[in-house]
Amino acid sequence: MFVELMPLLKERTLLITVARLDEKLKVNVIPARVKESEDQALTTPLSYTGSAEELDAELGKHLASYVDSHMQLGNTLAEAKAEMDAAAKAARQRPKTSQQAPKSDQTPPKQEAPAPMPGPAATTPSLFGPQLTSAEPPAQTAGEEGRIATP
């Protein structure tokens, strides 16, 4: 049981409690916080209940799995924190480098010709189709050919 806990014990203190519940035993393994700023997921306890024989046979592999998951979570959190720190540092460096750009290269910006004003043909399209403003009747569509218009 303690062999499985050794990788976790290298990084933090563990509190182990054992209680008897009727004919079964309940074992709790509770990792202590290393720093106050540490993620609470790293202090998630393991609780296992079973008979003394079951605990003798099974607790070791459950502890090994718990320690492995705990170590992977710690590594993942450390990697994510390192990536966020690097991104924040790069974001802070961008304004500094743009402010420290050499000013001897000052050429007046090119004047662009003003964009032409959109004419009446460049209006926003409508969902309801074009609106006819003339007094001419609308043109017949292909499906209306040969029909006689009735008043």
Output the pLDDT for position 123: 60
Name the residue among 118, 115, 43 with its Cα closest to residue 73: 43
Is 67 exposed, middle or buried (CB count within 10 Å of its CB: 0-12, 13-18, 19+)?
A: buried
Q: What is the mean pLDDT of each run of 10 residues along the chain (151 residues)?
A: 80 89 92 82 87 89 83 84 87 75 56 56 62 57 56 57
Position 52: which residue type? A
Output the pLDDT for position 92: 84
Q: Which helix (H) or strand (E) holds 54?
A: helix 52-99
What CATH number belongs to 2-92? 3.30.160
Give every strand in the sheet of 24-31, ordered side by side.
Answer: 14-21, 24-31, 46-50
Contacts made by residues 19-26, CB under 8 angstroms, sequence distance 24+: 21/49, 23/51, 24/49, 24/50, 24/51, 25/49, 25/50, 25/51, 25/52, 25/55
Name the residue among 53, 4, 54, 52 with its Cα closest to residue 29: 4
Output the pLDDT for position 20: 94
Supply 37's token pair. Answer: 């700023």
Task: Name the packing angle between helices 52-99 and 2-9 (round to 10°).
Answer: 20
Output the pLDDT for position 33: 85
Output the pLDDT for position 72: 87
Residue boundaries of the structural domains of the chain: 2-92
